[in-house]
Structure 1
Amino acid sequence: MMAGSTLRKVKSRSWKKQRHFRLLEDGLTIWYKSRWAGRGHSTFSVSEVEAVREGHQSEVLLSIADEFPAHLCLTLVFHGRQGNLDLVAESPEEAQAWIRGVRKLIHKAETMDEKERLDQWVLDWFQKADKNKDGRMNFKEVRKLLKMMNVEMNEEHAFHLFTMADRSESGSLEIEQFVHFYKMLTQRDEVWKVFQEYSGDGEKLTLEELENFLTQEQQEGECSGQHAQELMNRYEPSETAKKQGAMSLDGFQMYLCSQEGSIFKPEHRQLHQDMSQPLSHYFISSSHNTYLLEDQLRGQSSLEAYIQALKRGCRCVEVDCWDGSDGEPVVYHGHTWTSKILFKDVIATVKEYAFKTSDFPVILSLENHCCVEQQTVMAQHLKQILGDTLQRTLLDGQVPEQLPSPQELKGKILLKAKKIGRLEESCDGTVTDEMSDEEDMANGDADNPCAEQPSAERQKKSKSKLSSELSDLVVYCKSIHFHGFEHARLHSKCYEMSSFSESKAKKLAKDAGTDFVQYNTKQLSRIYPSGLRTDSSNYNPQELWSVGCQIVALNFQTAGLEMDLNDGLFSQNGCCGYVLKPEFMRDGNTTFDPEKPAERRAPRPLRFSIQVISGQQLPKVNQKEGSIVDPLVRVEVYGVPQDQAKAETNYIHNNGFNPVWDETLNFVISTPELALVRFVVEDYDKASRNDFIGQFTLPFTCIQAGYRHIHLLSKDGTAIPPSSVFVNISISELT
């Protein structure tokens, strides 16, 4: 890989171009260029690559399978929403060298400890700044580096640090000297002050002093000496200090910057909730228009969109089915210019990726616009491709009083669609069945400008026939029309579920919050975005979670606040796609109403206080040379209406490297079980809208008190190490 290879980069059947690829000396950066591109080239880090697929495992490579055999093909899959890189090697040996090599490098990148990650980051900067590649940096190169690293520094001070690091007095720094320069540059007074408060001699923390810090500041209860010893063993870089049973400032800072020192409770990241309750007792990570990579007017429909959603822990995917011209049903956004993919390919993709991230059940939400004949084809594909993974019968042969649990349905795929009759009955043939709200909209609704408005003749046929073969595959998720909460109380079965447009759901939540919460203790509700959202934008899911709606479907392909909230909620419980609702939302007799949370007998509201201390190595948002960010931090609370709040710090002028705010923001939270907290860092701009720098969102119940680092994510939801915000968090009952 370091010697380099010529590989074909493939974008389509007609776009196949040779590029020279090689692995750079750092062992973590892949460089490539066209032989005709002069000095122009591109690079990407192995840390950006999530996986390597071997053979024809992408739509693009499948389209050229007749031209290039599978043993020459490979696909690099990137984190987040970045597109795949499809490559064709000149020989099977070369393909294998790159497949095995990149996989090894991914493993190496994923298993680095905190110190190794930081060292790699520093090395990356050194190589970026060392323009003439002589392994040394003069002061002019260092000055440019500081700009690249997002720091505005007094030139005199910078030269002073440079001189101190230049122990050989050569006027330039080698890599080891540069590391020393970097340490002086990143010396964090705010961490040193915390260290001093607990260190008896100001040089180190004894085991007892570290225990005191963990108990008093980090509020970790009666911290055992064993835990303190484990942290010393894990994060103290000095063997001498370890032998003395002590932690140095370097070790202390490394612990604070680690996942254990992060804002997220480590135990909540693991699968820790009761998974044996009915499906209706869980929030379920859900996608809308799952087949789309972009907008819903002209966007591309792609199998990759299903793969990306399932890898993000999504447990309910949508499949819009229409008659295909050759008898094979197709999936796309009807009556638009979105491209079409085959239904059978979608089902095969779901089968392959359904349980790679989570073992818990996947719901296929079927939007059925097909004729009876093609519905029968769909049923055949579902049975043949999914086999035993498709849940086609009642678990114990008995019609249930409540839905089965995620635990009972592990490894199973459920079909959500219309069904002939009830589970209690047995029907043959085809019958007329009423459409759900969502299907009414798809067949012509004023709320959906991209849908074809129905003719008088079509309106007469507003009820369509069902294939009994397809109907028989629906067990626990039968789509029905919603006739009101009173009707549901008297007549509905637990396996019947309705879909609501966001506007209808929000109105019900506001006008009849308690009824909606009670309804959702027994039955599943699916909420979908308005048809007016032709750009595939999203609504705020929190309003619907607050009345217990389980399947709050979002456009996963669209980054932003709404997907941050979704990612935040489902980042707990092992990212399995299921989160147990609070106890007061699982009781069928609950009186909880998010509009009036004070009426619930509950503990006192909580005071949530965040001291925003400092930021570390924030990424640049404007790549112009000399451009430095002016960062501010905003804390946003999302929950019941009473808890919605925002507050922000002042901005720091020209410093994205190590800004210090030292400002405290305060909130009162009445219903912590439903609150999500989003930390956003922005680049202040007085003339226009602030630019986004990074964010991190998590459930309030997952927050660790004390001195914590918030590790920022990009707009895409991917990590941007080592960017972080250092805070001190206090949570107490309101007196």
Structure 2
Amino acid sequence: MESPQSLFAQGDKDLQVMKAGAMLRKVKSRSWKKQRHFRLQEDGQTIWYKSRWAGTGHSTFSVADVDVVREGHQSEILLSIADEFPADLCFTLVFHGRRSNLDLVAESPSEAQVWIRGVRKLIQNTESMNDKERLDQWIWDWFQKADKNKDGRMNFKEVRTLLKMMNVDMNEEYALRLFTMADKSESGCLENEEFVQFYKMLTEREDVWRVFQDYSRDGQILTLAELEDFLKQEQQEGERSLEHAQELIDRYEPSENAKKHGAMSIDGFQMYLVSPESAVLDPQLLALHQDMSQPLSHYFICSSHNTYLMDDQLRGQSSQEAYIQALKRGCRCVEVDCWDGPNGEPVVYHGHTFTSKILFRDVITTLAEYAFKVSEFPVILSLENHCSMEQQRVMAQLLDTILGDTLLRAPLDRLVPQELPSPQDLKRKVLLKAKKIGGLEESETLTDEVTDEVSDEDEADPKSLSAENLSAEALHLNDKKSKLSRELSDLVVYCKSVHFHSFEYSRLHSKCYEMSSFSESKARKLAKDTGAEFVRHNSRQLSRVYPSGMRTDSSNYNPQELWNVGCQIVALNFQTAGLEMDLNDGLFSQNGCCGYVLKPDFMRNDDSFDPERPQARNGYTSLRLSIQVISGQQLPKVNQKEGSIVDPLVRVEIYGVFQDQAKQETSYIDNNGFNPLWNETLNFIVHVPELALVRFVVEDYDKASRNDFMGQFTVPFTCIQPGYRHIHLLSKDGTAIPLSSLFVNIKISELTTEV
């Protein structure tokens, strides 16, 4: 048996050269540059490397973990050695998730090109695999791991080891029976197709078979009418169900004979149930489908805090890569903290800390290149400005020359707006959020300079600065008032930063293009005390919320309670994985991952929606959410010890208005992460489905200590497809875990009586 990647690699010259291996310099810093022997392994999937001095020690990584290959000096590290190694020798492998890049230097330009082209071909081949090829690759990978003596055959002892590695503690007698049935050659070993047969028997889905039997009259096939009945009754599909049933048979049924008779076998049924169109998140709502012509204030906007940081805000590395990763995740509001740098060049870093510094020029160059690769809708550049007049002028010049026509310099149609323009109106535009001299109405008539407080975060708590061990002198510098340059001021159009006084003051005096920043504590207090007013304020003006300065570890606050009052720019530390980023990724997974999600209609008008009293709004209806957690498939191991197997449980968490916050979990299953079966139903009442997020979490139960996280998936309630669905799990980093899923049955119904 050969893997799809291995077969692909056999016919390609670049990949054959990669299999022979090469000496490449691995670069970690200007002073750490070490030669390593790199080689593509025979599976065409794994890249192996080691030091010539490291004895038997080596490292490997899978091509599937590589997101992209960048040529030349496209990282801070490679830029730092540009004087030593020319660009045509250098390239960077960028990994999915939060794993560090791998910076490499080849010995010749032609060798660099072989590796750049080769890895790109492997990535493209991996991404273009169909479901069957992906499964074949997955089986091949397990075969390779378990085939200890590398003879291409697997005896029963190796199979027992494989089962442990695959997270299943199977009865030895049952495992031997499957092994013997698969060993058609009676050689005492499984090879090639015999191992595939063993895997198929091992993964037979009793849970799917039961659902199939409920609708199949003869227990062998689903007729077109029976499949239509299943789609109507279980998947809650309406008028299109007959037409859709025929499409499913054409798309997923592997048997030509069954296709000819307009029927679906158990194999086709299972392929449909694990396909993207049968996932819990409705694929039609994944696409860009919302009205993008409403004012900016009517959208939630995917937003990052301290975007330049790869790590914590005391000693972390500042990097252009952090901007690239945030923008690739659909972020539409990035933050730049600017300070005076040497040689008249502004720098970006977390002031008065030990974080590293990068040039403002390089940040804006990165923004120019990556701003609109994932989404065409506007990017807001939130400027935290601590620079002198001279360097502010340099900043304005750099913004102007590097961003060119993408930088918005004046109101659309040269008119003073009565409401903010829409994302559609501002496509492929960068908006500067900062202080501004005067307003749009009189901006042509003001003097060139005024004294103004430059710092953007108006509500910053002085106590938070002490957490960063700032000196009295530094505190004084932070608090002083500085002059604002006319050149920089003139680039601020629709996002003028102003101090927040009160909702009444804003209602009477504020312009639609004025916006305020709130610390998380100030915003949460306003949300709790005056939620309905906050909602109304946010229907007309933008609000930005940022994490407390006390969060020196760059942890995050829960964004949900700020979305509940309509705050658009709820900024999170993208570099920190966890629940908060899961919620952010979940909310913005819809609408084409474009970084803008239209707020519910009752938050865009004067309905006076109060998140504390959702029953008071017009058209209020609560829903019952019933989730039968049926089974799990190929759940990941959390403890890599060979003999350890997980004891999984599933928890369903609801995030939304206060009344909707809820959690329930299943019991745990002993020693089975391969195909655990729960068949437990969890019930919830949801009062404001338009704001609710549903998070499915799988954990490894531990009675002695905290459970270990295994995987999760977060979906907006309004995007859930009812019926029998697979939930394809994501890692802590938000990247897919191959073939790892939950099988559930979801029912959503209106409550007939008040709860």
TM-score by length of 1: 0.98
Tell which deviates more after alignment, 706-715 or 590-599: 590-599
Deviates more, 1:691-700 or 1:423-432: 423-432
Instruction: Write the distance in 2 (CA, Å) between the matches of 1:378 and 1:518.
Output: 35
The Cα of 1:68 is off from its aligned counterpart by 1.6
Task: Tell me the amino acid that sits aligned with residue 535 of structure 2.
Answer: V
C-alpha separation between the residues in 2 aligned to 1:338 and 1:445?
A: 20
Which of 686, 696, 706 is matched with 1:679 structurally?
696
Tell me the SS of whatever aligns to 2:492: coil
In the TM superposition, 1:709-724 aligns within 5 A as: 709-724=726-741
Cα displacement (A) at 1:143: 0.5
- Give the Cα separation in 2 of the matches to 1:461 and 1:301: 24
Letter of the aligned partner of 2:491 in structure 1? L
Name the counterpart of 1:429: 448
Matches within 5 A, 1:388-403: 388-403=405-420
- Deviation of 1:460 (Å): 12
**DSSP-derived class of the 1:326 partner:** helix
Residues 1:472 and 2:490 are matched in the alignment: yes
The equivalent of 2:508 in structure 1 is 490
Taking a change above 3 Å as real, the CA distance of residues 438 and 453 of structure 1, as seen in their structure-2 partners, is: farther
8 Å contact 1:618–1:693 — kept in the other structure? yes
What is the 5 A alignment of 1:633-644?
A: 633-644=650-661
Post-superposition offset of 1:241: 2.5
For residues 107 and 703 of structure 1, what CA distance do their matches in structure 2 show? 30
C-alpha contact 1:21 1:33 (8 A) present in aligned 2 = yes
Describe how 1:381-392 pairs up with structure 2 within 5 A.
Answer: 381-392=398-409
1:123-134 correspondence to structure 2 within 5 Å: 123-134=140-151
Corresponding residue number in structure 1 for 2:287: 270
* Partner in structure 2 of residue 231 of structure 1: 248
Moved more, 456-465 or 198-207: 456-465
Alignment of 1:314-713 (within 5 A): 314-425=331-442, 426=444, 427-434=446-453, 438-439=457-458, 441=460, 444-446=462-464, 449-450=467-468, 452=470, 458=476, 462-587=480-605, 589-713=606-730
How big is the shift at 1:214? Answer: 1.3
Alignment of 1:157-176 (within 5 A): 157-176=174-193
Across the aligned residues of Structure 1 and Structure 2, the Cα RMSD in angstroms comes to 1.6
Q: Is the deviation greater in 461-470 or in 69-78?
A: 461-470
Instruction: Decide whether aligned partners of structure 1 residues 636 and 3 sit closer, same or farther in structure 2, where only a CA change above 3 A counts.
Output: same
Residue 336 of structure 2 aligns to a residue in which SS? strand
Answering whether residue 256 of structure 2 is matched by residue 208 of structure 1, we say no
Q: Aligned letter for 1:466? A: L
Rounded to whole Å, the distance in 2 between the matches of 1:461 and 1:154 is: 69
CA distance, structure 2, for counterparts of residue 709 and residue 192 of structure 1: 15
Aligned runs of 1:83-98 on 2, under 5 Å? 83-98=100-115
Match of 2:68 among 41, 51, 74: 51
Write out aligned runs for 1:5-16 (5 A).
5-16=22-33
* 1:78-117 paired onto structure 2 within 5 Å: 78-117=95-134
Conserved? CA contact 1:680–1:695, under 8 Å: yes
- Of residues 42-51 and 16-25 in structure 1, the stretch that sits farther from structure 2 once superposed is 16-25
Structure 1 residues 221 and 138: CA distance shift in structure 2, 3 A: same
When residues 146 and 308 of structure 1 are mapped into structure 2, their CA distance, relative to the original with a 3 A threshold, is same
Distance 1:410 1:140, change over 3 A: same
Distance 1:36 1:689 in 2: 40
Q: CA deviation at 1:27?
A: 2.2
Are 1:115 and 1:254, in contact at CA under 8 Å, matched by a contact in 2?
no
- Equivalent pair of 1:435/1:480 in contact (CA under 8 Å): no
Shift of 1:445: 4.4
CA contact (8 A) 2:435 2:456 kept: no
Structure-2 change in CA distance of 1:236 and 1:37 (3 Å): farther
Distance 1:455 1:62, change over 3 A: closer
Amino acid corresponding to residue 457 of structure 2 in structure 1: E
Classify 1:447/1:646 alpha carbon distance in 2 versus 1 (closer, same or farther; 3 Å): farther
Q: Which range moved further: 419-428 or 21-30?
A: 21-30
Normalised by the length of structure 2, the TM-score is 0.95
C-alpha separation in 2, matches of 1:217 and 1:270:
24
User: Quick one: which amino acid aligns to residue 357 of structure 2?
Assistant: K
**2: distance between equivalents of 1:58 and 1:459?**
32
Q: Does 1:155 align with 2:172?
A: yes
Does 55-64 or 624-633 show the bigger shift?
55-64
3-state SS of paired residue (1:438) = coil
Residues 173-228 of structure 1: per-residue CA shift (max 9 Å, x gap): 00211111011111111100001111121111122221211111111212343322
Contact 1:448 1:530 in 2 (8 A): no
**Post-superposition CA distance 1:227-270 (Å, at most 9, x none):** 22222222222233223322211111111111111101010000
Match of 2:198 in 1: 181
Q: Distance in 1 between matches of 2:512 and 2:700?
A: 49
Q: Which amino acid aligns with 2:592?
A: G
Describe the superposition over 1:143-194 as per-residue Cα deviations: whole angstroms up to 9, x where unpaired. Answer: 0000100000111111111011001010100021111101111111110000
Provide the C-alpha distance between the structure 2 equivalents of 1:204 and 1:63, rounded to a whole number of angstroms: 64
Task: Give me the whole-angstrom Cα distance separating, in 2, the residues matched to 1:322 and 1:266.
Answer: 44
Contact map agreement 1:123 1:175 (CA 8 A) in 2: no
User: CA offset at residue 317 of structure 1?
Assistant: 0.5
CA displacement at 1:99 relative to structure 2? 1.4
Once the two structures are overlaid, the 10-residue window that deviates more, 570-579 or 83-92, is 83-92
Give the CA deviation at 1:440.
6.2
CA contact (8 A) 1:607 1:734 kept: yes
Paired letter, 1:433: D
Higher mean alpha-carbon deviation, 76-85 vs 515-524, is at 76-85
Distance of aligned partners of 1:581 and 1:266 in 2 relative to their CA distance in 1, 3 Å threshold: same
- The 2-side partners of 1:461 and 1:213 are apart by 66
SS in structure 2 at match of 1:105? helix
1:44-90 deviation per Cα after TM superposition (whole angstroms, max 9, x unaligned)? 22211111111111111111112222122111111111111111122
How many residue pairs align between the two structures?
A: 733
Residue segments in structure 1 that go unaligned for 5+ positions in a row: none
Q: How far, CA to CA, are the matches of 1:567 and 1:461 in structure 2? A: 35
Counterpart secondary structure, 1:664: strand
Name the residue aligned to 1:30. Answer: 47
Secondary structure of the structure 2 residue equivalent to 1:357: coil
CA-CA distance at 1:446 after TM superposition: 4.7
Structure 1: distance between partners of 2:152 and 2:479: 76
Superposition deviation, residue 457 in structure 1: 10
